[in-house]
Amino acid sequence: MNIERTFDLLKKILEDSSDDLRRFFYEGVKRSYEKKDLTMIYHYISMLSPDYYGTDLFYTSDGYYKSYPNNPRISLPKPLEKAGTDLFEVIRSRKSRRRYSRKPLTLDEISTLLYYTVGITGRTWWGGPKRVYPSAGALQPVEAYLVALNIKDLSQGIYHYNPGEHVLERLKEGDYGKILEKIALDQEHVSEASANIILTIVYQRTASKYGLRAYKYALLDTGFAGQNIYLVAEALGLATVAVGAFYDKELCRLLEIDCEEEMPALIFPIGRRS
Ligand SMILES: Cc1cc2nc3c(=O)[nH]c(=O)nc-3n(C[C@H](O)[C@H](O)[C@H](O)COP(=O)(O)O)c2cc1C
């Protein structure tokens, strides 16, 4: 979120607040300073209270998902409609799996994974998309990218998933496995996988309604989408793990995104179980 808007917002919150609430913010920031803990500042200013609920803020949306209309597109097959696995069993057996075989994934599997991670299932009453994951204000800040390493009928490269058209948009071709491994603090499972799905957050989509509360909401939204990857991979008999340890700036550079507008949240290496 643009810093001036953030501070304007903070000023507005403080001006509109009761004395009690102002004191509460002030005490929180002071304690944060005393403890030398910056996260507490955010913790305080993002709290809702009966005095402050951020719905009267500016409301803009960039259209719920990104698209790259000028990039080469690869259409995806229809996602599977049934997994043939019991949901409760999938939840029970889910675990982080970091060992992958060298056998390629198929486009059917990739299509199914991407669709059931962030895909569109219908329309809201005001005409916006509805997703497979719940989203604060239905603002849907999560974007999905695919780093293809070993997928049958798909060249190696980095792609953006366009959920509106259920297509991949190619950002660049090449083998980015080792580069991604380095970015992920040398975690080998990243380059040994056949693909990596990377979830990012377009923060402004949620902040346009929720202001400073959005950091919390957008990360929660991403957690819901991330759990979908775990469960779908499990249902398909594949292996995955959430990877949160990575160098943010380097990952933004790889995805060619602006780290201030869109933040990488999680990497999911995916492969066949070995
Ligand atoms: C936010 C988050 C970040 C994580 N980051 C990593 C990571 O960088 N590397 C890794 O191997 N596992 C990572 N994990 C996976 C955890 O280590 C794993 O979920 C935990 O050990 C529990 O095991 P389980 O998933 O099999 O239940 C992460 C999990 C979460 C939720």
- State the residue range of the domain holding 160: 73-272
The closest residue, in CA terms, to atom 13 on ligand 1 is 243
Q: How many CA atoms lie within 13 A of 198 on its CB side?
A: 27
Q: Which of 243, 247, 248, 266 to mutate to test the pocket of ligand 1 (most atoms within 8 A of CB)?
A: 243
Residue 66 belongs to some domain of the structure:
no
Residue 34 belongs to some domain of the structure:
yes
pLDDT digits (tens, 9 = 90+) for 118-141: 999 999 888 889 999 999 999 999
Indicate whether residue 229 lines ligand 1 (CB < 6 A).
Answer: no
Q: Which residues pair with 159 in a beta bridge?
A: 146, 170
Report how far Cα 98 is from the mean position of its chain's Cα atoms: 20
Range from 39-48, 153-162, 234-243, 260-269 carrying the lowest mean pLDDT? 39-48
Whether residues 104 and 167 share a domain: the answer is yes
Are 117 and 225 within 8 A, CB to CB? yes
For the residues 49-59, what does the mean pLDDT come to?
55
Whether residues 193 and 103 share a domain: the answer is yes
Whether residues 84 and 149 share a domain: the answer is yes
Provide the pLDDT for residue 210.
Answer: 83
Indicate whether residue 96 lines ligand 1 (CB < 6 A).
Answer: yes
Number of domains in the chain: 2
pLDDT value at 26 more than 80: no
Q: How many CA atoms lie within 13 A of 129 on its CB side?
A: 19
Q: What is the CA radius of gyration of the chain?
A: 20
Place of tokens 């780290």: 259
pLDDT-based confidence at residue 54 (cuts at 50, 70, 90): low
Å from CA of 242 to ligand 1 middle? 5
The closest residue, in CA terms, to atom 17 on ligand 1 is 96
User: CA distances (Å), 128 to each of 51, 53, 68, 151, 233, in order?
Assistant: 30, 23, 19, 32, 28
d(CA 7, CA 5): 5
Whether residues 48 and 173 share a domain: the answer is no
Are 257 and 242 within 8 A, CB to CB? no
Planar angle of CA 264, 265, 269, nearest 5 degrees = 95
Going by the DSSP 8-state scheme, the letter that residue 53 receives in this structure is: -
Whether residues 148 and 35 share a domain: the answer is no
Residue 205 belongs to some domain of the structure:
yes
More confident residue, 175 or 213: 175
pLDDT digits (tens, 9 = 90+) for 160-176: 999 999 999 999 999 99
pLDDT-based confidence at residue 42 (cuts at 50, 70, 90): confident
Å from CA of 249 to ligand 1 middle? 21
Å from CA of 8 to ligand 1 middle? 37
Provide the pLDDT for residue 30.
Answer: 78
How many beta carbons lie within 10 A of that of residue 24, not counting itself? Answer: 16
Cβ-Cβ contacts under 8 Å for 8 (sequence gap 6 or more): none
For the residues 24-40, what does the mean pLDDT come to?
78
The closest residue, in CA terms, to atom 11 on ligand 1 is 243
Q: At residue 105, what are phi and psi to the nearest 5 degrees?
A: -85, 165
Residue 246 belongs to some domain of the structure:
yes
The closest residue, in CA terms, to atom 9 on ligand 1 is 243
Provide the pLDDT for residue 9.
Answer: 63
Residue 147 belongs to some domain of the structure:
yes
Whether residues 32 and 78 share a domain: the answer is no
Residue 29 belongs to some domain of the structure:
yes
How many beta carbons lie within 10 A of that of residue 75, not counting itself? Answer: 10
For the residues 210-220, what does the mean pLDDT come to?
90
pLDDT value at 199 more than 50: yes
Provide the pLDDT for residue 56.
Answer: 47
pLDDT value at 59 more than 60: no
Å from CA of 56 to ligand 1 middle? 37
pLDDT value at 1 more than 50: no
Whether residues 113 and 186 share a domain: the answer is yes
Report how far Cα 253 is from the mean position of its chain's Cα atoms: 17
In the structure encoding, which two tokens stand for residue 44, read together?
A: 């305080």
Average pLDDT, the chain: 90
* Residue of 263, 268, 109, 259 lying closest to 187 (CA atoms): 268
The pTM for the full model equals 0.91
Å from CA of 190 to ligand 1 middle? 13
